[in-house]
Chains A and B, each alone.
Chain A
Amino acid sequence: MIKVSELTYSIAGTPILHDINVTLPAGRITALIGPNGAGKSTLLHLISQQIPFDRGRITMGGLDLAKTTAPARALKMAVVGQQLGVASRIRIRDLVGFGRWPYNHGRPTPKDQEKISEALSHFDLIGLQDRFLDEVSGGQRQRAFIAMASAQDTDWLLLDEPLNNLDLHHARCLMTQLREKVDREGKSVVIVLHDLNYAISWADHVVALDKGSIAFEGPLTEVATTDSLSALYRTPVVFGDLAGKPFVQYHR
Chain B
Amino acid sequence: MADGRVRHWRAAHPYIATGVGLILLAGLSLFIGVGQLSFAALRDDPQALQLLIISRMPRTLAALLTGASMAVAGLILQLLVRNRFVEPATTGTSEAAMLGLLAVTIWAPSWPILGKMGIAAGAALMGTVGFLALTRRLPPEQPLLIPLVGLIYGGILGAAATFIAFQADLIQYLAIWMNGEFSGVLAGRYELLWLAGGLTLLAYLAADQFTVAGLGRATSLTLGLRYGQVLALGVVTVALVSALVIVTVGMLPFIGLVVPNIVSRIMGDNLRESLPVVAGLGAGLVLLSDMIGRIVRYPYEVPAGTIFGIFGAVLFLRMLLGRRSHA
Chain B contact residue count (CB 8 A cutoff): 30
> What distance in Å separates the Cβ of B211 from its nearest Cβ neighbour in chain A?
7
Given A90-B211, A105-B208, A134-B326: A85 and B223 interface contact (C-beta under 8 Å): no
Of all chain A residues, the one with the shortest Cβ separation from B326 is A134
A132 to B83, CA, bound (A): 17
Q: How large is the interface on A (under 10, 10 to 19, 20 to 34, 35 or more residues)?
A: 35 or more
A79 to B218, CA, bound (A): 9
A88 to B265, CA, bound (A): 10
Q: Which of B25-33, B224-232, B300-308 contacts A (4 or more CB under 8 A)?
A: B224-232
Q: Which of A8-16, A66-74, A209-217 contacts B (4 or more CB under 8 A)?
A: A66-74
Of all chain A residues, the one with the shortest Cβ separation from B225 is A70
User: Is A70's CB under 8 angstroms from B140's CB?
Assistant: no
Task: Note all chain A residues with C-beta closer than 8 A to B270.
Answer: 90-91, 94
* Among candidates B82, B140, B143, B268, residue contacting A91 with C-beta atoms closer than 8 Å: B268
User: Is A71's CB under 8 angstroms from B211's CB?
Assistant: no
User: Is B212's CB under 8 angstroms from A98's CB?
Assistant: yes
Whether B79 is near chain A, meaning CB under 8 Å from some CB there, is yes
Given A48-B222, A101-B208: A87 and B214 interface contact (C-beta under 8 Å): yes
A169 to B234, CA, bound (A): 42
Whether B216 is near chain A, meaning CB under 8 Å from some CB there, is yes
A79 to B82, CA, bound (A): 20
Binary per-residue interface labels of chain B (75-114) against chain A in the complex, 1 for a CB within 8 Å, 0 otherwise? 0000100111000000000000000000000000000000
Q: Which among B7, B214, B221, B272 has the highest number of chain A CB atoms within 10 Å? A: B221
A78 to B309, CA, bound (A): 45
A101 to B209, CA, bound (A): 10
Whether B156 is near chain A, meaning CB under 8 Å from some CB there, is no
* Among candidates A48, A73, A85, A105, residue contacting B216 with C-beta atoms closer than 8 Å: A85
User: Is B84's CB under 8 angstroms from A98's CB?
Assistant: no
- Near B by CB (< 8 A), chain A positions 49-81 give 49-50, 69-75, 77-81
Given A101-B224, A105-B208: A50 and B218 interface contact (C-beta under 8 Å): yes
Whether A110 is near chain B, meaning CB under 8 Å from some CB there, is no
A91 to B7, CA, bound (A): 13
Given A101-B208, A132-B268: A74 and B82 interface contact (C-beta under 8 Å): no
Task: Note all chain A residues with C-beta closer than 8 A to B7.
Answer: 130
Task: Note all chain B residues with C-beta closer than 8 A to A106.
Answer: 208, 272
Whether B269 is near chain A, meaning CB under 8 Å from some CB there, is yes
Whether B264 is near chain A, meaning CB under 8 Å from some CB there, is yes
Task: Note all chain B residues with C-beta closer than 8 A to A50.
Answer: 217-218, 221-222
Given A94-B270, A132-B268: A71 and B216 interface contact (C-beta under 8 Å): no
User: Is B84's CB under 8 angstroms from A87's CB?
Assistant: yes
- Near B by CB (< 8 A), chain A positions 86-128 give 86-91, 94-95, 98-99, 101-102, 105-106
Task: Note all chain B residues with C-beta closer than 8 A to A70.
Answer: 221, 224-227
A88 to B82, CA, bound (A): 7
Binary per-residue interface labels of chain B (259-301) against chain A in the complex, 1 for a CB within 8 Å, 0 otherwise? 0000011001110100000000000000000000000000000
> What distance in Å separates the Cβ of A205 from its nearest Cβ neighbour in chain B?
22
Whether A149 is near chain B, meaning CB under 8 Å from some CB there, is yes
A169 to B208, CA, bound (A): 34
Binary per-residue interface labels of chain B (307-322) against chain A in the complex, 1 for a CB within 8 Å, 0 otherwise? 0000000000000000
Q: Which among B212, B222, B326 has the highest number of chain A CB atoms within 10 Å? A: B222
A152 to B84, CA, bound (A): 29
A149 to B223, CA, bound (A): 9
Given A86-B215, A87-B83: A48 and B221 interface contact (C-beta under 8 Å): yes
> What distance in Å separates the Cβ of A155 from its nearest Cβ neighbour in chain B?
14
Can you report 6 residue pairs joining A to B where beta carbons are below 8 Å apart? A50-B221, A71-B224, A73-B224, A91-B268, A106-B208, A130-B7
Pairs of residues from A and B, 8 with the lowest C-beta to C-beta distance, nearest first = A74-B224, A88-B214, A88-B269, A71-B224, A89-B268, A87-B82, A79-B222, A106-B208
B interface residues with partner A (beta carbon < 8 Å): 7, 79, 82-84, 140, 143, 208, 211-212, 214-219, 221-227, 264-265, 268-270, 272, 326
A interface residues with partner B (beta carbon < 8 Å): 48-50, 69-75, 77-81, 85-91, 94-95, 98-99, 101-102, 105-106, 130, 132, 134, 145, 149, 152
